[in-house]
Structure 1
C-alpha cells in the first residue's frame, strides 16, 4: 500500500475553475442564483443544442422535475433501463408511479428498443398508462434515441433521456440527450465534468423549463410575501457551484479526448488476454468513455471480483458494473422485460480506473496487476 492511490474516476480540475469561483466571490453572488449560474446554463445550451437549460442540485432532482412536469402520476408506469444507477429511476417512485425495467442489447449495452416495444405492449395490456420512457446513456454511450422514439411516438409517450454519464458524447452528430422531450445530466464528483455536485435539466420547451425553475425554488408565487399554491423543492444549483462548472466546460473537449485515449490504451494493452473484451462502441455515435469497462469470461481463469481485489491490494480502485435494478432488493417485485444481458454484464464486468488525469505510469500499474492475476 506504499504506492499512491489510483481512483476510479476522480475530479480533474482544468485550470480556470478558480478564476470563475473568484468572480463569484468578488461579486458576492454566493446565494443560489447569480451570473455564473446563468452563464453556465447558457453555455450548456450551446454545448447540447437545447434551447433551455436549468442548473439544479443533482441529476436526480432534474429527473424528478422532468417526470412531474410531464404528468407522471400515481398509478402510471415509467419504463426504464434496468442497467443503470438508482438515481435515474428512483424519482418515479417519489411520484407514486410504478416501474417496469427493460434489458439492454449486447451491441450497445443500452435499452433494447425491441424489448421496449414488448414492455409498452405488456403495460398497456394490463390496462395501465405509460407515463414516460427513461433510457440511460450507459457509461457515456448514447442509447439509440431514434429507435426508442419510434416506439414512444405512436403512443404519445414522453421520452426523458438520462444522459447523466454522457456529457460530451454524441448520437448521430448531436450531443447526448438531444432528441428527448427532456434530458438530464449529472455533475457529481465522479463524472466527466463536475461541479462537486449538481445536475442540469434540458428541454426545447420554454414553458417546461420555466415551470421547472419555479418548482425548483420552492414554487413561490408572484407576491411581495411568500405565497405558495403548490408544493415545490429546494433544488436550485448554487452560483458558486456553477462557477466551477464554467471552468470544467473549458476543459471538457480535452477530457473527452483523454478518456477515449485511455479506453483505447486498455483495449490495446489488455485485449489480447484470454477471455477479455471491452464495452463496444455503437456505430451511430461517439462515446465519451466516462468509464472503461472490461468483461471477462470463464476462459480468463479469474472472476471480476478477483481482479477487483487484486487491484485493491495494490491501492487501485475499480468497481463492478452497475447491478441491474431488477436484481436490487428494493425492486425485487418490479416487472421487467428481459434481463439476461444485463445480468451477464454484471456478472462478467469490471470498471477500470478511467480518470482523465491518469498518467501512462498509472495505466501501466493497473494493466500489470491485471496481467499478473490473469496469468
Structure 2
C-alpha cells in the first residue's frame, strides 16, 4: 500500500484559527475591514518591535510592489535585486517598468553579496542614475549580512527593501528579520512558517508611511464623501477572514519556529558524516534562522535529479533550489554582478521536507532514503 505523501512545507493549523474566522462570519465583516485585520497587524507590530508599522495585504508580492511605489520608483529607474530568490522578489520591478540589476550570492548565507552589490551600485551611478532601491532577501529563512548591506545603503543613500518573505521568526544579532529595511516584507502564503492562506504584510518605520501604504492598497480613494481618485491605487488589502487565520497562526509562531529548528537538528544529525551531502546551516551565532526550508548541496557524483527521484519514489516531496533571476528567460538581458555562485547552488541543491507537522514516522522514512538509497 502506498504511504501518505510527505509534503515539503504544508500548512499547519494551530487551533484558534476557526474561532477567529467564525467571528468574522458572526459579525458579518466578510470584507477588507474588521477586527481580525486590526488585531493581526497589532500583534505583528508587538512581535517585531523596533518601531514597526504593519499593513496587512493580499500577498508578499503586493507588498514589494507597494514598497517600490512608496520609494517613487518609476519607468527607467534602476532597482538592484538579489538574483537567488523567488521571482516575486523581482517581478514588481517590471510592473513599474523599472530596470532590474541582479546581484549574486555570497557563500555563507546564500544571500546578497556585499562586494557584488557595491559593484552594481557603482555601475548604475556610472550610467548616470543612482539606483532607487536595493531588494535584499533572507533566503529560506536565513538572514542576510545586514550590517554590510545596510552600510552600503547608507554610504550611497539608497533605501533597502527587506524581502523577509520566508524569514518570520529569524534574527540577526538578536534583531528580528522584518525590521532591517527602510521597508520590509513578510509572506503568509500557504507554505510559509505561518499562513493566512495567501497574504503578506508591508512593514514601515513610521505611521505616515503606513497611512500612505494603506491608501495605495485600497484603490487610492481620496478622503472625500464620494469616490474620488486622484492617483493610481490597487486592490491589495488583506480580508478579515484571512487575517483571522493569521491571528490563530501567530499565536503558535514560537512553537512553529522550534519545530522548524528541530527539523534542522534532525537533518544535521542524519547528515553529519555523509560525504555526498552538505546541509546549509547558519554561519555563526549572529544568524538565527527559522529554517523555513532545510536545504542541501550535493557533492561528488550525486545529482539533485537522482536524489529527487529517490524521494519521489517514496512519495516524499522535495524541490530544487530557486533558479536565479539572471538565469531566467524573463530576465536574460538584465545586468548581473557576481561569480554565478547562485547558479552553482541551483545546479547542486535541493530543498527537503521541513513542515512544522513533520512526525517521527516521516523522519524515519526520510532517513531510509538518505541512508539506504544514496551511495
Shorter-chain TM range is over 0.9
Q: Does 1:201 align with 2:202?
A: yes
Larger deviation: 38-47 or 274-283? Answer: 274-283
Matched position secondary structure for 2:373: helix
**Distance in 2 (alpha carbons) for counterparts of 1:244 and 1:282:** 34
The residue number in structure 2 matching 1:47 is 47
For residues 52-131 of structure 1, what are the structure 2 equivalents within 5 Å?
Answer: 52-131=53-132
Give 1:145-224 correspondences, 5 Å limit: 145-224=146-225
Give the SS at the match of 1:135. Answer: strand
Which residue does the alignment assign to 1:6? 6
Q: Which residues in structure 2 correspond to 1:257-336 (within 5 Å)?
A: 257-283=258-284, 284-298=286-300, 301-336=301-336
| 1:98-134 superposed Cα distances (whole Å, 9 cap, x missing partner) | 0111111111111111111111111111222201001
- Paired with 2:303 and 2:180, the residues of 1 have a C-alpha distance of 39
CA distance in 1, matches of 2:281, 2:241: 38
Structure 2 unaligned spans of 5+: none
Comparing 276-285 and 111-120, the one that deviates more: 276-285
Deviations 1:65-98 (A, max 9, x none): 0111111111111111110001011101111110
* Kept in 1: contact 2:17–2:245 (CA 8 A): yes
Q: SS in structure 2 opposite 1:78?
A: strand
Match in the other structure for 1:245: 246
Shift of 1:371: 2.3
Contact 2:276/2:302 (CA < 8 Å) preserved in 1?
A: no
Which consecutive segments of 4 or more residues in structure 1 shift more than 4 A?
none
Show CA shifts across 1:236-285 (max 9, x none): 00011000000111111000001001011011112312221111203222
Which is worse superposed, 103-112 or 264-273? 264-273
Root mean square deviation, CA, Å = 1.1
> Aligned partners of 2:54 and 2:130: how far apart in 1?
28
Q: Which residue of 1 aligns with 2:26?
A: 26
CA distance in 2, matches of 1:81, 1:272: 32
Deviations 1:190-221 (A, max 9, x none): 00000000000001122211111011100011
Q: Secondary structure of the residue that 1:196 maps to in structure 2?
A: coil
State the 1:339 CA deviation: 4.1
Deviation at 1:313, TM superposition (A): 1.2
Aligned mates of 2:257, 2:124 — CA distance in 1: 39
CA positional deviation for 1:373: 2.9
The CA distance in 1 between the partners of 2:180 and 2:333, in whole Å, is 32
- 2:227 match: 226
Distance in 2 between residues matched to 1:269 and 1:350, nearest whole Å? 16
8 A contact 1:259–1:290 mirrored in 2? yes
Asked whether the 8 Å contact 2:52–2:179 carries over to 1, the reply is no
Worse-matched range after superposition: 246-255 or 218-227: 218-227
Distance in 2 (CA, whole Å) between partners of 1:179 and 1:106 is 21
Per-residue deviation, residues 294-335 of structure 1 (Å, max 9, x unmatched): 11111xx32011111111111110001111110001001110
Question: What does residue 373 of structure 2 align with?
Answer: 373
* In 1, Cα distance between equivalents of 2:373 and 2:327: 29
Q: Structure 2: how far apart are the matches of 1:373 and 1:344?
A: 24
Contact 1:270 1:367 in 2 (8 A): no
Q: Residues 271 and 279 of structure 2 are in contact (CA less than 8 Å); yes or no, is this contact kept in structure 1? A: no
Separation of aligned partners in 2, 1:115 and 1:47 = 33
CA distance in 2: counterparts of 1:60 and 1:136, whole angstroms: 13
TM-score by length of 2: 0.97
SS at match of 2:197: coil
Q: Number of matched residues?
A: 373
How far apart, in 2, do the equivalents of 1:249 and 1:282 lie? 28
1:369 Cα shift?
1.2
The separation in 2 between residues aligned to 1:281 and 1:274, in whole angstroms, is 19
Aligned-partner Cα distance in 2 for 1:345–1:91 = 25
